[in-house]
Amino acid sequence: MEQGEYKVGLDTLLKILATFDLSIGDFFDESARNESVVQKYRSLSPSAQKEVESFIEFKRAQEEDGSWDSDSGESEGDDV
């Protein structure tokens, strides 16, 4: 082995990589999802994009505050 570089056959390499198929899948699924969200955002008009940004800021502030529980709306009804 020279310069720390060990080469293997394509078949061996792909069989090794196949054992990480699920993780690779997660990586590509996540990337695809992010790309899809960004594309949808870009397809909006400038004013709609501003609305989305304001809504994101609103949700972020809510979560940082800790005063809002995502399940609270449903649980209110359950107590009645």
Q: Give the Cα separation of 47 and 54 in Å (integer).
A: 11
**Which is nearer to other proteins, 21 or 76 (by Cβ)?**
21
Burial environment of residue 8 by CB neighbours within 10 A (0 to 12, 13 to 18, 19 or more): exposed
Q: Which of residues 14-43 bind other proteins (CB under 8 A)?
A: 14-15, 17-18, 21, 24-25, 28
Task: Confirm if 44 and 52 have CB atoms less than 8 A apart.
Answer: yes
Q: How far is the CB of 46 from other proteins (least distance, A)?
A: 32
Pick from 5, 65, 74, 78: which binds other proteins (CB under 8 A)? 5
Positions that interact with other proteins (CB under 8 A): 1-2, 5-15, 17-18, 21, 24-25, 28
